[in-house]
Amino acid sequence: MTKVAITGMGAISAVGRGVAPLWQATRDGACGVSALTIPRHEALRIRIAASVPDFEPADHLTKEEIVRCDRY
């Protein structure tokens, strides 16, 4: 038998960052899909999406990675 240790849980979703907001939204039946509020969204065909609120890419990626990545 293999022992397993869970050392933490995390989530980044359209209803917030962390397990607590995700669990609360799941429990309440809340939806994270809304109108886009990012700059330049007027040029896009898509008007609604499940974007992560208050997400700062620099907190998770290097400058080189940010330049190479799309907003997905």
Please give the model's pTM, rounded to 2 decimal places: 0.61
Name the burial class of residue 15, with classes exposed (0-12), middle (13-18) and buried (19+) by CB atoms within 10 angstroms of its CB: buried
Written as tens digits, the pLDDT of the chain (72 aa) is: 899 887 777 888 999 888 899 999 999 999 999 988 777 667 778 888 898 888 888 988 899 999 998 877
Name the burial class of residue 22, with classes exposed (0-12), middle (13-18) and buried (19+) by CB atoms within 10 angstroms of its CB: buried
- How much helix, strand and coil, in percent to the nearest 5, is found in the chain? 30, 10, 60
